[in-house]
């Protein structure tokens, strides 16, 4: 049992750390555009051992310490493609920078990933709704994650796993399948490519597709007893690879001379950034490999930013470091890698670092040549190292030129949004402060106004220049914290930037009510011109007179609202794919609505069970496709 505990805490610590660093090192810095290459097998070993050597020291101290403890006891409107109707599109962060999703439409057809199956349905006119194409993939050969659709192409991005013939380990590949859309009932696969690494995220700008993957290095295998030749072969096998039939029928291995690394921020991992020009199917893909890692990405039209969290540990006696597993470190930095984008080509531009940990992609933004990023530093539950929130403005070389520190001490960021010269941050611990930031002068960002209200917003969506819609949770303030209640939708009026107001509020359900929208912005259907705010939701409500009872599961489906700036939110309708009264007893994931979209004057709700069409004004049901029938 003791060994299990020791191993468990060691694994937790090793997974959570990046590098041991001197706490006196600057935490806002930038690096040049020239990166060194690994160059040789010998240098690769030396670089990776810089990481593993420190990790081994920690593990040994963790084991000793654990034994001691044991002894002691803005704009996302519709677009119309040629031949298609006015239709909604995926809710994205930056207009013109598309993001992949499991469901797309082009104004005439709906493209849907139902687990490992691709389904294309003609849905307009609704009287002729039917499936015109389906393809089920072998889970072991290809599992589709997301896709893109434009006038000419359908692009699937998924996972392929290859097991090493020697039985050492398996390799994860991100697989890309590109189809020609001349005939939706008979797709033509025009190109395939595979890049080693686990799929992180992607963006599509016009005909250019950019994909970020991470490949973990199984360096632990070298700890096993092996001969010199076998070890060298294992190290050679750790080179990242890709397969591009436009170059060769055989997989291509990236040589040491073409693998770059970031001095001062090494990782037992490869960060691989791939660019593909969809308009040139015979042109080789552009694959750039770095000894590093990345998690959250943001992309403008010209630049891609990849970030990772760097956990900070003070250099010193190893016993002091090891005891951190029982008092986890809360000092974190965010490392930023900037890449230039140009028609499927990727070029490293700069590396920078700021204090604090990043929440998600909406905590980043590029505007007029500057990069803005909001982070949280410290622990909001700690008295010795309380949290604070920070805003940094960086120049094109990722050097910090302006900042705001000490925002909402003792709280953490729950959502952020940048709109031109303004920034908006929501923090939370007991109440929900909304901060309005003036970013017009990059060297002197300031807080203009603040609003404190119950609840918090997980996602902020711009309505117009003076209003933002917040989606999150309602809360009830209690001693030393807050109790989370139902789903909350609020309209913030920022006409007076020095005095923001919560103008309207809508609460749905009680504790347990949740929506994918709170962690995935793509679940939102929004159109200001059509006055539609729609999202999938699971509703839990308390029934009967005894309000102390636990909330019960009462609804799953879509809520559709309108918004009037004078009257507030109006519930237009709610749609479910359940035929009977819903309860915990008849819960069926296949019937859970995950997306809403509109084409012309029709609203479509989608689940793995069916597609349902309703009139966008009367909400009268007009047609459906039930899968499997």
In a domain, 625, yes or no: no
pLDDT mean over 59-66: 43
Q: What is the number of other CB atoms lying within 10 angstroms of the CB of residue 487?
A: 27
Residue 481: per-residue pLDDT: 66
pTM: 0.88
Do residue 406 and residue 335 come from a single domain? no
**The last residue of a domain, from among 407, 430, 448:** 448
The total number of structural domains in the chain stands at: 2
In a domain, 171, yes or no: no
Is residue 5's pLDDT more than 50? Answer: no
Q: How confident is the model at residue 7 (pLDDT cuts 50, 70, 90)?
A: very low
Q: At how many degrees (to 10) do helices 41-72 and 2-16 cross?
A: 130
Mean pLDDT of the chain: 86
Q: How confident is the model at residue 62 (pLDDT cuts 50, 70, 90)?
A: very low
Do residue 267 and residue 345 come from a single domain? yes
Do residue 224 and residue 337 come from a single domain? yes
Going from the C-alpha of 139 to that of each of 144, 157, 201, the distances in angstroms are 9, 13, 20
Do residue 280 and residue 364 come from a single domain? no
Beta-carbon-side half-sphere exposure of residue 237 (alpha carbons within 13 Å): 19
Residue 10: per-residue pLDDT: 43
Q: How confident is the model at residue 317 (pLDDT cuts 50, 70, 90)?
A: low
Residue 584: per-residue pLDDT: 60
Enter the tokens of residue 492: 């913030």
Closest CA to 349 of 393, 304, 310: 304
- β-pairing, 412-419 with 552-564? unpaired
Do residue 272 and residue 349 come from a single domain? yes
**The last residue of a domain, from among 355, 385, 411:** 355
Do residue 216 and residue 325 come from a single domain? yes
Do residue 435 and residue 397 come from a single domain? yes
Q: Do 405 and 387 meet the contact criterion of CB atoms below 8 Å apart? A: no
Do residue 351 and residue 220 come from a single domain? yes
| DSSP string computed for 153-218 | EEEEEEEEEEE-TTSS-EEEEEEEEEEE-S-TTS-EEEEEEEEESEEEEEEEETTEEEEEEEEE--
Q: Which is more confident, 327 or 292?
A: 292
Is residue 219's pLDDT more than 90? Answer: no
Is residue 509's pLDDT more than 90? Answer: yes
Closest CA to 427 of 466, 391, 465: 391
Residue 383: per-residue pLDDT: 67
Do residue 363 and residue 321 come from a single domain? no
Residue 312: per-residue pLDDT: 64
Is residue 52's pLDDT more than 70? Answer: no
Do residue 314 and residue 430 come from a single domain? no
- In tens, the pLDDT along 171-182 reads 899 999 999 999
Enter the tokens of residue 48: 């990776």
- In tens, the pLDDT along 225-269 reads 567 787 777 888 889 999 999 889 999 999 999 999 988 777 789
Do residue 310 and residue 384 come from a single domain? no
Report the C-alpha gap between 545 and 525 in whole angstroms. 35
Do residue 255 and residue 403 come from a single domain? no
Q: Do 408 and 388 meet the contact criterion of CB atoms below 8 Å apart? A: yes
**Coil, helix or strand at residue 54:** helix
- In tens, the pLDDT along 118-166 reads 999 999 889 999 999 999 999 889 999 999 999 999 999 999 988 766 6
What residues contact 206, with CB distance under 8 A and at least 6 apart? none
Q: Do 523 and 515 meet the contact criterion of CB atoms below 8 Å apart? A: yes
In a domain, 104, yes or no: no
Q: Which residue range(s) make up the domain with 365? A: 358-448
In a domain, 543, yes or no: no
In a domain, 370, yes or no: yes
Residue 520: per-residue pLDDT: 98
Is residue 321's pLDDT more than 60? Answer: no
- In tens, the pLDDT along 355-412 reads 999 999 999 999 999 999 999 998 766 666 788 999 999 999 999 999 999 999 989 9
**The last residue of a domain, from among 407, 433, 448:** 448
Is residue 420's pLDDT more than 80? Answer: yes
pLDDT mean over 505-511: 96
Report the C-alpha gap between 391 and 396 in whole angstroms. 17
In a domain, 512, yes or no: no
Is residue 1's pLDDT more than 80? Answer: no
In a domain, 409, yes or no: yes
- In tens, the pLDDT along 584-618 reads 667 788 999 999 999 999 999 999 999 999 999 99
Report the C-alpha gap between 45 and 612 in whole angstroms. 57
Residue 56: per-residue pLDDT: 53
Residue 430: per-residue pLDDT: 60
In a domain, 542, yes or no: no
Residue 431: per-residue pLDDT: 60
């Amino acid at each position: 049992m003791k060994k299990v505990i020791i191993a468990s805490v060691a694994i937790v610590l090793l997974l959570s750390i990046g590098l041991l660093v001197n706490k006196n090192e600057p935490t806002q810095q930038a690096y040049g555009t020239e990166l060194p290459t690994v160059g040789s097998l010998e240098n690769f070993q030396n670089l990776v051992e810089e990481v593993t050597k420190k990790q081994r020291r920690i593990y040994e101290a963790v084991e000793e310490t654990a034994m001691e403890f044991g002894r002691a006891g803005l704009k996302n409107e519709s677009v119309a493609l040629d031949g298609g109707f006015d239709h909604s599109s995926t809710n994205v962060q930056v207009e013109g920078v598309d993001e992949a999703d499991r469901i797309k439409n082009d104004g005439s057809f709906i493209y849907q990933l139902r687990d490992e199956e691709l389904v294309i349905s003609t849905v307009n006119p609704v009287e002729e709704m039917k499936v015109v194409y389906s393809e089920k993939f072998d889970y072991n050969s290809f599992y589709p994650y997301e896709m893109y659709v434009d006038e000419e192409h359908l692009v699937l991005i998924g996972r392929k796993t290859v097991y090493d013939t020697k039985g050492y380990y398996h390799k994860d590949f991100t697989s890309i399948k590109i189809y020609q859309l001349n005939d939706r009932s008979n797709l033509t696969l025009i190109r395939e490519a595979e890049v080693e690494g686990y799929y992180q995220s992607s963006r599509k700008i016009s005909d250019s597709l950019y994909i970020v993957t991470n490949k973990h290095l199984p360096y632990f295998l070298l700890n096993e007893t092996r001969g010199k030749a076998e070890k060298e072969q294992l190290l050679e096998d750790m080179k990242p690879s890709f397969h591009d039939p436009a170059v060769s029928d055989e997989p291509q291995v990236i040589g040491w001379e073409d693998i770059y690394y970031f001095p001062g921020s090494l990782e037992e991992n490869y960060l691989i950034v791939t660019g593909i020009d969809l308009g040139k199917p015979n042109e080789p893909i552009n694959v750039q490999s770095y000894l590093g890692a990345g998690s959250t990405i943001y992309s403008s039209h010209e630049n891609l930013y990849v970030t990772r969290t760097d956990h900070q540990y003070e250099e010193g006696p190893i016993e002091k470091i090891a005891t951190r597993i029982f008092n986890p470190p809360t000092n974190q930095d965010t490392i930023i890698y900037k890449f230039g984008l140009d028609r499927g080509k990727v070029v490293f531009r700069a590396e920078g670092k700021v204090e604090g940990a990043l929440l998600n992609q909406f905590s980043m933004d590029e505007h007029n040549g500057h990069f803005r990023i909001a982070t949280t530093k410290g622990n909001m539950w700690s008295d010795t190292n309380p949290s604070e929130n920070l805003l940094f403005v960086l120049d094109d070389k990722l050097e910090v030129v302006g900042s705001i520190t000490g925002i909402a001490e003792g709280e953490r960021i729950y959502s952020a949004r940048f709109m031109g010269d303004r920034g908006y941050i929501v923090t939370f611990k007991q109440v929900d402060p909304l901060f309005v930031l003036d970013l017009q002068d990059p060297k002197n960002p300031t807080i203009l106004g603040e609003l404190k209200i119950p609840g918090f917003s997980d996602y902020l969506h711009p309505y117009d220049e003076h209003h933002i819609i917040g989606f999150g949770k309602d809360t009830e303030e209690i001693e030393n914290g807050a109790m989370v209640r139902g789903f909350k939708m609020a309209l913030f009026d920022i006409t007076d930037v020095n005095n923001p107001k919560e103008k309207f509020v809508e609460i749905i359900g009680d504790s347990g009510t949740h929506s994918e929208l709170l962690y995935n912005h793509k679940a939102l259907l929004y159109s200001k011109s059509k006055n539609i705010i729609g999202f999938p939701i699971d509703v839990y409500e308390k029934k009967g007179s005894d309000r102390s009872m636990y909330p019960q599961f009462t609804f799953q489906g879509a809520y559709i609202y309108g918004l009037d700036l004078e009257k507030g939110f109006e519930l237009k309708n709610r749609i479910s794919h359940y035929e009977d009264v819903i309860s915990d007893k008849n819960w069926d994931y296949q019937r859970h609505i995950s997306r809403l979209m509109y084409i012309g004057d029709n609203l479509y709700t989608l689940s793995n069970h069916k597609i349902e069409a309703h009139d966008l004004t009367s909400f009268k049901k007009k047609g459906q496709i039930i899968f499997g029938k």
